[in-house]
Amino acid sequence: DRGWTRTVGAIKMNAPLQPASNMKCSTSLVALFVLHCCTALSLRVGTRSSKLAQTQARQFQEIIERRHEGIKATIIPIDASGDKTGAAAEISTQQLPLAIQGVDFTGALDEALADGIVDVVVHSLKDIPPANRWRINVEEPRIKIGAYLGPRENPLDVLVSREYKSIESLPVGGKVGSASLRRQAQLLACRPDLEIMNIRGNVDARLTALDRGELDGLVLACAGLKRLGILSDDNTSYKCNPIPADVLLPGAGQGIIAVTCRENDATTISLLREVDHHDNRIAATTERSFLDSVDHLSPWSGRPPVAGLMTPPASGEELWHFRGLLATPDGTEVLTVNKSLNNNNCNEAAALNLGLNAAADMLTQAG
């Protein structure tokens, strides 16, 4: 178990919380005992230093402190290597998409977590690499996703523009900003005439490029815009219209906040389990298992774009629906797969199998 920081009266300790060897009690009971006996229990929460990342970390902070009154969560910003390049703070136009550049937004936080500098890390789930490229776990499992916070924000992408309301309405040869290979491939599949700009930077910087007339539109995640307040009803500066999933399928995990912890930290795992959102775990498990398999085993060269979305049953229905996608970077070839799962049989194991079966079908199509 990890070394919690505990304050009991005037005594401060950094000792691991472990049940005595002669005590037959669950980790959950140990955690509850500590919460009742300690006047304060500090949980160090790692996050990227961006505005959006810290907004998400504060959301987790509020949830965990509301769930456990004895916990004081402290947010610790950590610069990821992708942020240190400066491209996350200032606008930049790159020749290569992010996936090909190998930009890393989790490595530094993963190391801080594994080394005990922080106790948990809050991520946008879509930023966590597929299993075969999650470097911290390559040699042995060191960290894991302990909770998926809920409810899920709108997982769709959004076209942000001053003039245009849809991908179809953009002018011939229009300039659209996105550094996501997944978005670029799907945009070109439906509008091969578009000029895709590999534009990077935080949201404010990208909007500045739009204001200067350098772009006709930006494609961004609806969830991030909503959490930053840009999709609020009183914001009339931009036209922000969600792009239907049959035009632009979201990335796996988009709209879900994930909280990672150490694999051997039973106390924290137990605490995170209590704030885990069931429907988000089902969706994330399906989407991530599909992504992990296709990204690792695709016969296509390079790192072809992969997308996946698992949606819960609509009102009055019983089926979860999954749609997966694999494309060539230029959008000239796009493969899709569709699966469903009855809500009565919907558990984590069934969700995992659904994602794996969808990936197997996709890989068969890909040859």
323 bridge partner residues: 309, 338
Which tokens in the block code for residue 264?
Answer: 């051997």
Helix (H, G, I), strand (E, B) or coil at 155: coil
pLDDT digits (tens, 9 = 90+) for 318-354: 999 999 999 999 999 999 999 999 999 899 999 999 9
Position 56, amino acid: Q
Residue 118 reports pLDDT greater than 80: yes
Number of Cβ within 10 Å of residue 353's Cβ equals: 15
- Percentage of the chain with pLDDT > 70? 81
Give the pLDDT of residue 81.
Answer: 57
Mean pLDDT computed over 187-194: 98
Q: Does pLDDT of 141 surpass 60?
A: yes
Residue with more model confidence, 242 or 24: 242
For residue range 280-299, list pLDDT tens digits in order.
999 999 999 999 999 999 99
Predicted local distance difference test score (pLDDT) of residue 235: 61
pLDDT > 90: percent of the chain: 73
Query: % helix / strand / coil in the chain, to the nearest 5?
Result: 35, 25, 40
| pTM across the whole model | 0.84
pLDDT score of 205: 83
Specify the pLDDT at position 95: 52
Q: Three-state DSSP class for 181?
A: helix
Instruction: Compute φ and ψ for 325, nearest 5 degrees.
Output: -145, 140
Question: Could you tell me where the beta strands, DSSP code E, fall in the chain?
Answer: 5-8, 11-13, 40-47, 71-77, 92-93, 120-124, 143-149, 157-161, 175-177, 195-197, 199-200, 217-221, 239-242, 257-262, 306-311, 319-327, 334-342
Instruction: Find residue 319's DSSP bridge partners.
Output: 342
Is-contact 125 286, C-beta < 8 A? no
Q: What angle do CA 213, 214, 215 make, to 5 degrees?
A: 90
DSSP codes, 234-300: T--SSEEEEPPTTTSPPPTTTT-EEEEEETT-HHHHHHHHTT--HHHHHHHHHHHHHHHHHHHH--S
CA distance 178 to 181: 8
- The residues pairing with 145 across neighbouring beta strands, listed in sequence order, are 260
Backbone angles phi and psi of 268, in degrees to 5 = -65, -40
| CA nearest neighbour of 228 among 45, 109, 58 | 58
The span from the CA of 174 to the CA of 245, in Å, is 21
Structure tokens at 257: 């906040």
> What is the mean pLDDT of the segment spanning 197-216?
88
pLDDT at 98: 47
Q: Is the pLDDT reported for residue 108 higher than 50?
A: yes
Token readout for 344 is: 């009565």
Write out the two tokens for 64. Answer: 């965990």
Tell which wins on pLDDT, 141 or 16.
141
CB 365 within 8 A of CB 298: no
Residue 214: how many other CB atoms lie within 10 Å: 14
Query: 350, 328, 349: which is closest to 341 by C-alpha?
Result: 350
pLDDT of 7 over the 90 cut: no
Buried (b) or exposed (e) across 102-129, using 16+ Cβ within 10 A? ebbbbebbbebbbeeebbbbbbbbbbbb
Asked if residue 9 has pLDDT above 60, the reply is: no
What average pLDDT does range 101-106 have in this prediction? 63
Is the pLDDT confidence value at 13 over 60? no
